[in-house]
Amino acid sequence: MIPWPLRSAARRLAAAAAARAASVAHSPPPAPRPPQPCPPEDAALKHLRRATGHEDGVPAGEQPRSRRPIHRREFPCTTMASRDHSGLTRQLLDFQHGTLDEIDGEHDPFKELKARFMDFKQRNCVDNTSNYQNLAQQQTPKFMVVACADSRVCPSSVLGFQPGEAFTVRNIANLVPPYQHGASETSAALEFAVNTLEVENVLVVGHSRCGGIQALMSMKSKQDDSQSRSFIRDWVSIAKSARLSTEAAAGNLNFELQCRHCEKESINSSLLNLLTYPWIEKRVNEGTLSLHGGYYNFIDCTFEKWTLVYRQGLEGGSKYAIKNRSTWS
């Protein structure tokens, strides 16, 4: 026979268990947890993996297990559509050792680029290891080049620049905004090239049949305010003075010839704008920096080159002149 105190305790435990069971039976099911983003890997853990040879998830000296291609639908972390780019970067880091699907049944535009890259690597990196080891440590270009973004006028192809020889920025119509214009990718590139890399030459390269110059010459002042905003129009307006000079000097010519004139006029306008940057003007006056213009005509494959002279008291009272003009044909 169970003593009364024990029977009483047993009854209380049984009643509590029955109450808990009834509560669970009548409570709604828990809401499913939303998918959690992949946490970024701790920097110390990354360092530890590299130091111990576990960077691929296997101990040093052991062969990693074979990997099958990872399909897009198998990504363990789904990147939600948002303005946050960290999820995309996380995927690149996660799968840098994996293989993604190739394009099936479609032309792969990178197939030929891969072959060109491998040829470039062999000719320039493998066969010239010492030069590339030096470039990996520092760059000491002698030229800063401002060129047009036009796909037909790559300055490295036209002028044969090799890696490390020219610090280059390309924009619509190869324009240099004045210092007062404020920050832009071109002014930032000039600041780095002149002040940090201490290049000895700045070369502004224009070209024939420039779409940016055609847009500039097509602008009509009375239409500027009525049209919807255009980034191209806003940008090429930097060279409005070149358009006005062209209209004054070649306004009686047809549109194509006016554009040809403005293509060269805008180069000289950019050269003068370079001198509005205090640290460029200072180096030009000191003789440690030279400013040059270049014009590539891909219709007959010729190249014109000239150098800007800037100093007080030149003949005629001007501060500017052209020297060393030549045509390569």
Dig out the tokens for 256 from the structure: 């194509």
Consult the annotation and say whether 77 binds a ligand.
Answer: no
Q: Round the CA-based radius of gyration of the chain to a whole number and report it.
A: 33
Which residue(s) pair with 170 in the sheet? 147
- Give the long-range contacts of residues 217-225, CB within 8 A, separation 24 or more: 217/243, 217/246, 217/255, 217/258, 217/259, 217/262, 219/243
**Inter-residue contact 198 to 159 (CB < 8 Å):** no
Rounded CA separation 294/207 (Å): 8
Alpha helix stretches (DSSP H) within the chain: 4-26, 43-52, 86-94, 110-120, 129-137, 155-159, 185-191, 211-218, 231-236, 240-250, 255-274, 278-286
Nearest to 211 by CA among 242, 171, 248: 171
The DSSP line for 161-175 is: PPTTSEEEEEEGGG-
Consult the annotation and say whether 148 binds a ligand.
Answer: yes
Rounded CA separation 19/150 (Å): 79
Consult the annotation and say whether 38 binds a ligand.
Answer: no
Nearest to 292 by CA among 328, 319, 268: 268
If you count them, how many residues does the chain have?
329
Consult the annotation and say whether 210 binds a ligand.
Answer: yes
Rounded CA separation 274/267 (Å): 11
Q: Label the pairing between strands 302-310 and 320-328.
A: antiparallel
Mark the binding-site residues for Zn(2+), compressed into ranges: 148, 150, 207, 210
Give the annotated binding-site residues: 148, 150, 207, 210
